[in-house]
Structure 1
Amino acid sequence: MKFLNGLLLAAAAVEAHYTFPRLVVNGKAEDKDWSVTRQTKNAQSKSGIENPNSADIRCYSSTTAPNIATVPAGSTINYISTQQINHPGPTQYMLARVPAGSSAKSWDGSGSVWWKIATTMPYYDNNKQLVWPAQNTYATHPAVIPASTPNGEYLLRVEQIALHMASQPNKAQFYLSCSQINITNGGNLEPGPNMKVALPGAYRSNDPGIQVNIYNLQPDSYQPPGPPVWQG
């Protein structure tokens, strides 16, 4: 009986975790898992990252993807989740422009090159429970690639930060993926250096949006970690 209970607990733990293997652009998902999205190290375990200073916080990838998705500027994007996103916490999106002479198929995203294009904030549901947009669904909350983003190849990063145990140090869990994209029909604006960050480097384990007691939190007081959102 103890063995059976252990198996059930292990299964429940895996079920509570998730990965984001498919990018969705204007409602159309990539053809198969990990086609333009880099396969993450937790593809099987589904476990999140607890150390925001780990090199895995950038893309958590074990390999690059074979393809690059064409994404017109102004497109709505999100990700399909392998399990229900049942842990409370924000969803954030970042971009990093691939340097000239490099390819999204091989570039590692190093340096202060990442900027944030979207984040989500909590709200009270009808039962006065604190929830985040798209919580308890099978897809991340959507975002828009700013229409003014220049043409070119990029890494697109999504993360959902699970905060159900985040009142304890290093117990927030980061679930994330990076996709290889080529932005077309874009503009000619780009955020300045003060809005770009390195990963790792952008987060500290005691940032108020990472170590936080969400069970004693007013929705508008939450402080998302990382740089401010670039509107374009």
Structure 2
Amino acid sequence: MPSFASKTLFAAIAGAASVAAHGHVKNFVINGASFQGYDINSFPYSQNPPKVAAWTADNTDNGFVGPEDFANPDIICHKNAKNAGAHAVVAAGDKIFVQWDTWPVSHHGPVIDYLARCENGSCETVDKTSLEFFKIAEAGLIDGSQAPGKWASDQLIENNNSWMIQIPSNIAPGNYVLRHEIIALHSGGDLNGAQNYPQCFNIQVTGSGTAKPAGVKGTSLYTPTDEGIRFNIYRSLNSYPIPGPRLIAGATPVAQGTSSIVSTATAVTGTAVPTAATTTVAAPVQTTAAPAPVQPTTTAVAQPIQTSTPVNNLPRPTRCPGLGRRHARDVARN
């Protein structure tokens, strides 16, 4: 078994190599139609970024939200997140295929998915602090026989940085915020060492379901001392307590394999159609971002998305929030 010193050295090297490699969702696919995510590499520097179904955020360095900010609205949809200007339509029971641009191998941890109903209508204008999230999917430790273990995040990497989410078939139709999150535990043994990477999207759920599960405010999902937040992964593990509320009734786990992705990513492409004159629906965009074995083929979209040229004279932060305060410790501690 590797010594503590060797494990620490390995983790430090891996952590240093991945400082700038934290990811974000670049697109998501519903029944073959691909919708653009919030592009932190260009949208913040664009004079007229397109309206997309992904919430904006100020994590232009692919940074994280730490446990010390769990009571801060930043934990809801990431740092200074603002409402998406559009939404995508999905039927209850359908799957959403989420594609990250990258994810560092050293950042092991769970993948968790939530929904929050926008009770007063549009999620494009909802107050994020009023949203009450209920958990629809979770995956944590896959194999803990050898430290640091195999985790849901490792499955995501194996699947070409992608994840499949199923909207429960019993969910009542309406407007929802989908909250998709990876929690990195490579420094989770330390107080405030975990790193949360939440991503939010506006969706309109259709169907005949009736369930309206009770939820929890985003600022009450976790505490810094939760068992699954302050958690040391550098040991043999038999189990892992996934943090947050329990799964709702009707939640269905999705096998995170190529076969499950094929069924959605190769489906006939749909075209988003506005449901009302005052409603903005995100238009599918062409992409080649599907997992290597499966490339979604998208046809002509309802309205081409135009992105203006980035403004070159604006500064682009490259460091992860709290690098001086947090990542130096990560590298030394891991």
Q: TM-score, length-normalised on structure 2? A: 0.60
Number of the residue aligned with 1:139: 161
Number of the residue aligned with 2:196: 174
Q: Rg: which structure is higher?
A: 2
The answer to which of 151-160 and 63-72 deviates more is 63-72
Pair 1:13 & 2:35 matched: no
Number of the residue aligned with 2:63: 47
Can you give the 5+ residue segments of structure 1 that lack an aligned partner in the other structure? Answer: 1-8
Number of the residue aligned with 1:5: none
Pair 1:74 & 2:93 matched: yes
Distance 1:84 1:112 in 2: 28
Distance 2:88 2:114 in 1: 16
Aligned Cα root-mean-square deviation (Å)? 2.4
Change (3 A) 1:90 1:26: farther
Number of the residue aligned with 1:224: 242
Distance 1:218 1:27 in 2: 38
AA in 2 matched with 1:109: K
Deviation at 1:217, TM superposition (A): 4.7
Distance 2:170 2:125 in 1: 25
Distance 2:144 2:134 in 1: 30
Distance 1:216 1:190 in 2: 40
Percent identity over the alignment is 29
Change (3 A) 1:183 1:112: closer
Number of the residue aligned with 1:160: 182
Deviation at 1:185, TM superposition (A): 1.5
Deviation at 1:74, TM superposition (A): 0.6
Distance 2:37 2:135 in 1: 26
Greater per-residue helix proportion: 2
Deviation at 1:186, TM superposition (A): 3.7
Distance 2:144 2:77 in 1: 32
Number of the residue aligned with 1:29: 34
Aligned partner (choices 196, 205, 208) of residue 183 of structure 1: 205
Distance 1:160 1:116 in 2: 14
Does the CA-based 8 Å contact 1:23-1:79 persist in structure 2?
yes
Number of the residue aligned with 1:4: none
Deviation at 1:27, TM superposition (A): 4.8
Q: TM-score, length-normalised on structure 1? A: 0.84
